[in-house]
Amino acid sequence: MSANYDRAAAIAYARQWAHARNPAYYDFDALGGDCTNFISQCLYAGCGVMNRARDTGWYYSTIHDRSAAWSGVEYLYKFLTANTGQGPRATEMPLGYAQIGDVIQLSFDGTHFGHSLLVVETAPEILIAAHTDDSLDRPLSTYNYARARLLCIG
């Protein structure tokens, strides 16, 4: 559960794998992007618990045995903000509330959210780790986005 979310473990995982791929997980770059898969890996490193509810959960065993929330931006948002079972939970908050280990999702067109990032630093500005356009310690301010939503874990 998110009450036991180890932010330092999530950040350590992000730092280890931001510019590489963990062979234990499928690389979704060829299927539209690996960003949310990477964020799910970071969250799992921080909480150590998956939610195996078949249609509404958040889990990964293989490319063919995983939840939509593991690798889909909108599905992850829905899972994190509605989860009442095992695994991480989140509340959407203004960016000013960001803490390390939180998730930011970006909308480039102002309507659809299509990119997930992990907050790895908050001062003097928000720095992120991400896959697809692999990044570590990248300032959020360098993204050209229309909208951002912060998902505060815990």
- Distance set, CA 69 to CA 41, 83, 105, 117, 139 (Å): 12, 11, 14, 15, 26
What domains appear along the chain, each with residue ranges and CATH number?
A: 2-153 (3.90.1720)
Instruction: Summarize the confidence of residues 70-84 as an average pLDDT.
Output: 97
Position 8 confidence tier, pLDDT thresholds 50, 70, 90? very high
Strand pairing partners for 51? Answer: 58
CA end-to-end distance (rounded Å), the chain: 8
- Average pLDDT score over the chain: 96
Pairing between β-strand 90-93 and β-strand 147-153 as defined by DSSP bridges? antiparallel
Residue 3 has a pLDDT of 54
In this structure, are residues 152 and 99 in contact, taking their beta carbons and an 8 Å threshold?
Answer: yes
pLDDT in tens, 119-153: 999 999 999 999 999 999 999 999 999 999 999 99
Q: What is the pLDDT of residue 60?
A: 98
Residue 1 has pLDDT above 50, yes or no: no
What is the pTM for the complete model shown? 0.96
Per-residue confidence (pLDDT) for residue 55, from 0 to 100: 87
Nearest of 81, 93, 103 to residue 37 by alpha carbon: 103
| Reported confidence tier of residue 54, pLDDT bands at 50, 70, 90 | confident
Q: For 87-103, what is each residue's pLDDT tens digit? A: 999 999 999 999 999 99
